[in-house]
Structure 1
């Protein structure tokens, strides 16, 4: 059925090229879009006759010849062989007939394009739902019938694959409309790139990530692929691409396990942005910390930094994270933090005195490392930390 929005867009688009008065009527003969807003909602008898009698053209020779109709020409709007509405062009027949035929063709082309886009989106939504069921479902639900349903949609989930979870981000940039549009364009480009590499590659949108199920490759080839995709996207768009890669599972029935692993690897990338391509097998604490609640993480942080204000915790995290990133080097850390090394040592000494744990001690450093990790993990959602 012809929607008001589509009809209105057609009127606007056609009038931008040909300034004649046009109307679009729905399957009940009601004008749903018009160059003359006052006519919207009124009944057009000529349009209804075209629909009911499958007529190719009705000319109205004078105003009122048909109820609600003005002088002009009316044509059926066909899509896939069916009349879905009627196009009316107001004016004297001999003056508008040539332009009217052009307008009719323009309108049908717009309808065909709109229909094609909607069908493509519908197909993508159906595929998304199926792939989501496969990658998020339990092995017991991946039956023979489920596999057949996938083949009917055009893909075979039994083919061995690796899972890559991809995220786009722009550092220090708020999520405004322009940013979202750039990310959407980059995502569309990535989908095409993945499909062009191998027609058997699959992908689906999962929240803010794009999940790609690529034909089975070794770890080294998976890393090469991830680097190439990242390079292509970042050369073409002002965004960064983070990719988490799974570890191999036994077969397609356990794809959910592969997805969970790739998601954890992706989350590790997005946590600090220090490494934008990570394998699940390379993770350490990231493997289990998702199972710890944010409340527990928050409690651990405040136990270690008991008596610290939120701002003091933040400064301590920056200082300690820098120190540990530089393998405990006071000289390098002080340079990175733009402070004198004696000042850094005094700050570390003060942390040790207040917490009871020495950041420079091998035994105690693990506690601070966990606290830093937890802090980074919940930083975005816990604004007061």
Structure 2
């Protein structure tokens, strides 16, 4: 495995800060590809080449003992039991010898960490490419090479999958600051199957996961909501689409997950919304703009913006507490008589009494439409 000159240069500079000695990184051809002495970069190092060939540490006692070499110590670097380079420390043996093993080990750890990070980044990019192909391919029909391109990444067809979309809310700076931690949280809690896919785009995280029951998935997402709120001070909501058994139909799950998320975002206390558990909202989704205007104008024409805001909350709480005047008034921090007065006032302005089941349904639809 070859490492980049950028990584090698970063390593030698970091190591010099620890031991304050000049350090060289020599590749398997014996060429110095990084050095704290910039004038040595590109030069052949005979001592480094010998270390690579013999696989032994080498102490150079005087400058020029080997072509292009100065006195110091040179040690082989290993990755997966293969020599990938040589680290050389310039100086007197008595000074640099005690650092050799430490610098060698730290360098190998840094290379391994960089390799792991690179793999993760490639995996994330692959997942983004697959999700782009599955969800955002503009062609109406998938071309013949679609499944072939997907199979390259070991993603099978005819496996039940569902799309989950989340949106993080809060100050943009705080979202950016916490992004990596939140992604790691998703990795640990949800991405526990090799074929699960995830990508993030600004404040959205999109996942395509193998079928999980609502009873199993909801507690996991609830835990994520709690952690994001309590530890990072941010809000997060989820929309879950329908289960689809073919890759080419996963986009349908995405579109439904987006609908479910939008309704969650418009709700004050709904953080996780399953498309399959939506009811009246599904009807509203298909109402034309002209029908929406006509319906809302008929029901709510006598209400101003302040009324709309006030009664939207009362309608929400009326449904949440199943019409309990006490619980609604307690939640609003008002007297029961005040709440009754406001309900009566709504009846006078609209002709609909939310305490009657049929009237409540009409009012709920009107308030949902006007806010969507």
Instruction: Mark yes or no: TM-score above 0.5.
Output: yes
Residue 315 of structure 2: SS of its match in structure 1? Answer: helix
Query: Which residue of structure 1 lines up, in the alignment, with residue 320 of structure 2?
Result: 325
CA contact (8 A) 1:10 1:110 kept: no
Does 1:224 find its partner at 2:226? no
Query: Which residue of structure 2 lines up, in the alignment, with residue 8 of structure 1?
Result: 10
Query: Which residue of structure 2 lines up, in the alignment, with residue 203 of structure 1?
Result: 197
Please report how far the alpha carbon of residue 328 of structure 1 lies from its aligned counterpart in structure 2 after TM superposition: 4.1
Go from structure 1 to structure 2 and tell me whether the alpha carbon gap of 1:71 and 1:312 turns closer, same or farther (over 3 Å shift). Answer: farther
Please give the per-residue CA displacement for 1:304-332, whole angstroms capped at 9, x wherever unaligned: 466735x5543333233223433444444
Please give the per-residue CA displacement for 1:127-159, whole angstroms capped at 9, x wherever unaligned: 33113312444562153x332333332221x13
Aligned runs of 1:292-303 on 2, under 5 Å?
none
Task: Give, in whole Å, the separation in 2 of the partners of 1:242 and 1:152.
Answer: 33
Please report how far the alpha carbon of residue 214 of structure 1 lies from its aligned counterpart in structure 2 after TM superposition: 0.8
Query: Which residue of structure 2 lines up, in the alignment, with residue 382 of structure 1?
Result: none
Query: Which residue of structure 1 lines up, in the alignment, with residue 54 of structure 2?
Result: none
- Residue range with higher mean Cα deviation, 242-251 or 166-175: 166-175
Does 1:287 find its partner at 2:282? yes
Please give the per-residue CA displacement for 1:80-110, whole angstroms capped at 9, x wherever unaligned: 86867x7442321343135225413421331
Query: Which residue of structure 2 lines up, in the alignment, with residue 212 of structure 1?
Result: 208
CA contact (8 A) 1:349 1:358 kept: no
CA contact (8 A) 2:8 2:33 kept: no
Residue 348 of structure 1: SS of its match in structure 2? Answer: helix
TM-score (norm 2): 0.69
Aligned runs of 1:61-210 on 2, under 5 Å?
61=62, 72-73=72-73, 87-137=87-137, 140-141=141-142, 143=144, 145-156=145-156, 158-165=157-164, 167=166, 175=174, 179-180=178-179, 182-192=181-191, 194-195=192-193, 199=194, 201-207=195-201, 208-210=204-206
State the number of aligned residues: 349
Task: Give, in whole Å, the separation in 1 of the partners of 2:19 and 2:161.
Answer: 55
Please report how far the alpha carbon of residue 203 of structure 1 lies from its aligned counterpart in structure 2 after TM superposition: 2.1
Aligned runs of 1:204-353 on 2, under 5 Å?
204-207=198-201, 208-215=204-211, 222-230=213-221, 238=230, 244-249=239-244, 251-272=246-267, 274-287=269-282, 304=300, 308-309=304-305, 313-351=308-346
Please give the per-residue CA displacement for 1:175-231, whole angstroms capped at 9, x wherever unaligned: 456654542332121244x32xxx5x422224322413315xxxxx72222135346
- Partner of residue 40 from structure 2, selected from 11, 20, 44: 44
Aligned runs of 1:349-360 on 2, under 5 Å?
349-351=344-346, 356=350, 358=352, 360=354
Task: Give, in whole Å, the separation in 2 of the partners of 1:283 and 1:26.
Answer: 63
TM-score (norm 1): 0.67
Residue 154 of structure 1: SS of its match in structure 2? Answer: coil
Go from structure 1 to structure 2 and tell me whether the alpha carbon gap of 1:49 and 1:182 turns closer, same or farther (over 3 Å shift). Answer: closer
Go from structure 1 to structure 2 and tell me whether the alpha carbon gap of 1:191 and 1:125 turns closer, same or farther (over 3 Å shift). Answer: farther
Please give the per-residue CA displacement for 1:283-321, whole angstroms capped at 9, x wherever unaligned: 235436668899x99999899466735x55433332332
Please give the per-residue CA displacement for 1:8-35, whole angstroms capped at 9, x wherever unaligned: 36643x467x534244569885757x4x
When the two chains are superposed, the root-mean-square deviation of aligned CA atoms in Å is: 4.8
